[in-house]
Structure 1
Amino acid sequence: MSPTALPAAQREIRLVRHAEGEPTSRHFVVAEVPMPEPGPGQVLVRTRLMAVTAAMRMQMSGDSKPMPPFVPGRALWGSAVGQVVAAPGGGFTPGELVHHRYGWREFAVVDESQVRRLDLDALPDPAAHLSQGATAWGALRRAAEVRPGDTVFVSGAAGGVGSMAGQLARRLGAARVVGSTGSERKASRLRAELGYDDTIVRGAGPIERQLRRAAPDGIDVLLDTVGGEQLTAALAVARPDARFALVGALSSQLGATGGSTAPVELDTGLIITRRVALRGFGLHAHPDLPQEWAKEFGQGLRDGSLVFPHALLKGIEQAPRALCELTQGRHIGAVLVEL
């Protein structure tokens, strides 16, 4: 699209007010705003695909530390793939596909330093660049250091991270992989398609009892996206020298308030006597991981050893629905919106 062909206005999704309970369509509004113009050192990007994530639920609450909260009356933001339309500084070429952090709008002006070219040779599918697999890969490989023969438990296994984690734990040599999810429908897909040997279902009985059945000899690794009761249960069945990688707190983020805190009682005696290592993991602290992951993911997609489960909704006006459905547990894998 040439600059002369640009429309005079664009659409963006704004937050109407902070959500104290479950988000609904009433928390969002589609606004028409003037087309932004890039200045020196900036690029104008047309958004093609955007991701919605569980962390956005927390940002909607206004209590999202350390992440900045969404601001009522202003557009939301998030990971997106776009096409460069204009680049006055010359650092990018119109037509290039890039990653940026300003989804939820049809066009965005972004500083050149905040735009990353997509390596289409390593990962040719633009949608796959919005996978949360890099977090799963880094948590399992670097934080938990999965080893051949390990038994791995993944909480929140049907989400964007968890739906990749079962496959990746297998890839790293795990002998047994167990995942938790919210329904038997999802559990069946996890076992049939996404690398899980067994599953536990929230609401089908105490988590610890289900986990002891699924992993009778205990677990060596936890990739935790949930916290709460599931973290406590994992510690109860941890083997000596178990390694826990903590990447999320869905028990809080998708709860009644969507707040940022996720308090949980842990048995310090068990941590000490079993020498359990608990390590928080965040992708932002590993800037080299996206490139490493793109190479690994691309190879897996090409040879069929990895799949990318995701739901795709079409149209920017569907973004609020996408986030609401994610918080309701309607989908398996990543949730994307195509503009």
Structure 2
Amino acid sequence: MSSTASSTSTQIQLASRPVGWPTPENFRTVTVELPDLAEGEVRVANEFISVDPYMRGRMNDVKSYIPPFALDETMTGGAVGRVIASRAEDLPVGTAVLHQLGWRDIAQAEASAFRQVTEIHGAPLSLHLGILGMTGLTAYVGLTRIAGLRSGETVFISGAAGAVGSAAGQIARLLGAERVIGSAGSAEKVELLTSKYGFDAALNYKDAPVREQLPELALDGVDVFFDNVGGDHLEAALDVMNTGGRLALCGAIASYNAEEPTPGPDNLSALITRSLRMEGFTLGGHFDLADEYAQRMTEWFAAGEIAYDETVVGGIDHAVDAFLGMMQGQNTGKMVVRTA
């Protein structure tokens, strides 16, 4: 191991807590000199880091399922890269690893902070942050464990052109859904959902209220709603849910940057009258499904049954731009930052 292997790390810190939409002024870029490796540590050159909607919530100093980012400290998040220096036998130089030390180009920590990934022929490493990783697992958990999707059912997915949504649509089809409906924020994304991702129908939520558009696409109702958006999408879904339907609440991006409380649905009584079950979830309690998902997704991917899009932004110095763009819907599929 060479103690001089890329010992300088460029990192992004949270400088102040955003009110409403984050701005570049909420962040700062710092250069950190890394110490020599201690026994059992590795140094990793990140190739891609992930920017995700949940990170917006961590910028607020509020109690949640994951601690908030600390001010004046480097933020964390999903990243994938290769070991460039090692004092850990099980992670030699060259090993591809997945970890949570994102928002930096070089990461250094105990070997236990990194997990070796199995590289799949034809799949860029970045997919381990998306369809092959936690993004895809989130979709799988929501459809299987939370919603209990059954063959022949109709599924509606909000935010369907995003990373989790586009995975959920394809996985729903592979699990036997009869009809898959999605929402997205542009005509181009709607076209992508039906032409590339196998959705039967899709709506542009900017064309007209979702509550007006959805019934026309779900004439036989909806059995499973996978929600990444909340707000008007949740309200619209409740209108068309079939008796015994299940709603899996994965995200609420519609309210993440709101400065006032977002009004709740006015039709929650449908939960009673139609015997619906609505459950929110985060991935933390469901990692026991990771091996099962990895096996199934690897088979689907190898068989050519999975399509994917990535929006790749170049350079650690553009990580904040990538995050802000993702929050504004500028990505198709997973948004990642190429740091190598």
Structure 2 length-normalised TM: 0.91
Q: Which amino acid aligns with 1:126?
A: L
| Gap runs ≥5 in structure 2 | none
Q: What secondary structure, in the 3-state scheme, does the structure 2 residue paired with 1:23 have?
A: coil
Larger mean CA deviation between 61-70 and 303-312 belongs to 61-70
Is 1:174 matched up with 2:173? no
Task: Say if 1:155 and 1:162, in contact at 8 Å, map to a contact too.
Answer: yes
Q: One-letter code of the match for 1:109?
A: Q
Are the counterparts in 2 of residues 37 and 44 from structure 1 also a CA contact under 8 Å? no
In 2, Cα distance between the equivalents of 1:262 and 1:298? Answer: 39
Specify the alignment match of 1:302 in structure 2.
302
Counterpart residue type for residue 208 of structure 1: R
Q: Once the 2 structures are TM-superposed, how far is the Cα of residue 135 of structure 1 from its aligned partner?
A: 0.6
**After superposition, where does 1:1-339 map in structure 2 within 5 Å?**
2-63=1-62, 65-121=64-120, 124-131=123-130, 132-253=135-256, 255-257=257-259, 264-265=264-265, 267-339=267-339
Tell whether the 8 Å contact from 1:123 to 1:298 is kept in structure 2 after alignment: no
Contact kept in structure 1, 2:229 and 2:254, CA below 8 Å = yes
Give how far 1:72 is off: 2.6
- Uncovered stretches (5+) of structure 1, i.e. residues with no partner: none
Shift of 1:159: 1.1
8 Å contact kept, 1:36–1:107: no
For 1:12 and 1:49, locate their aligned partners in 2 and report how far apart those are by CA, in whole Å. Answer: 14
In structure 2, C-alpha distance between the alignment counterparts of 1:87 and 1:7, rounded to whole Å? 12
- Following TM superposition, by how much is the alpha carbon of 1:124 offset from its aligned partner in structure 2, in angstroms? 4.9
**DSSP 3-state at the match of 2:171:** helix
Q: Secondary structure at the match of 2:297?
A: helix
Q: 1:331 to 1:297 in 2, by over 3 A?
A: same
1-side partners of 2:35 and 2:46: how far apart? Answer: 13
Structure 1's 330 and 243: CA in aligned 2 closer, same or farther, altered over 3 A?
same
* Aligned equivalents of 2:50, 2:83: Cα separation in 1: 18
CA displacement 1:295-320 (0-9 Å, x = unmatched): 22222222221012111112111211
Deviation at 1:17, TM superposition (A): 1.4
Alpha-carbon distance in 2 for matches of 1:43, 1:157: 38
For residues 268 and 30 of structure 2, what CA distance do their matches in structure 1 show?
A: 51
Kindly provide the amino acid, as one letter, of the partner of residue 67 in structure 2. Answer: P
1:262 CA drift (Å): 6.0
Q: For residues 122 and 114 of structure 1, what CA distance do their matches in structure 2 show?
A: 25
Shift of residue 170, structure 1, vs aligned partner: 0.9
Deviates more, 1:103-112 or 1:152-161: 103-112
Counterpart residue identity of residue 291, structure 1: D
State whether residues 149 and 174 of structure 1, in contact with CA within 8 Å, keep that contact through their aligned partners in structure 2. yes
Q: Identify the structure with bigger relative contact order (alpha carbons < 8 Å, sequence gap 6+).
A: 1
Q: Report if aligned partners of 2:5, 2:85 keep a CA contact under 8 Å in 1.
A: no
Decide whether aligned partners of structure 1 residues 206 and 263 sit closer, same or farther in structure 2, where only a CA change above 3 A counts. Answer: closer
SS of residue matched to 1:321: helix
TM-score by length of 1: 0.91
Is the Cα contact below 8 Å between 2:9 and 2:107 reproduced in 1?
no
Q: Is the contact made by 1:37 and 1:109 (CA closer than 8 Å) also made in structure 2?
A: no
- Aligned to 2:246, what secondary structure does the other structure show? strand
Residue range with higher mean Cα deviation, 285-294 or 26-35? 285-294
Match of 2:324, SS? helix
Per-residue CA deviations over 1:75-97 (Å, capped at 9, x if unaligned) read 11100112223443434222211
Amino acid at match of 2:325: E
CA contact under 8 A between 1:36 and 1:108: conserved in structure 2?
no
SS of alignment partner, residue 173 of structure 1: coil
Structure 2 Cα separation of the partners of residues 7 and 18 of structure 1: 31
Tell me whether 144-153 or 266-275 shows the greater mean CA deviation. 266-275
C-alpha distance in 2, partners of 1:152/1:11?
43
Contact 2:13 2:30 in 1 (8 A): yes
Q: How far off is 1:271 after superposition? A: 1.0
- How far apart are the structure 1 equivalents of 2:320 and 2:18? 13
Aligned length: 335
How far apart, CA to CA, are the structure 2 residues paired with 1:235 and 1:179?
15
Look up the SS of the partner of 1:161 in the other structure.
Answer: helix
Structure 2 distance, partners of 1:283, 1:122, is 27
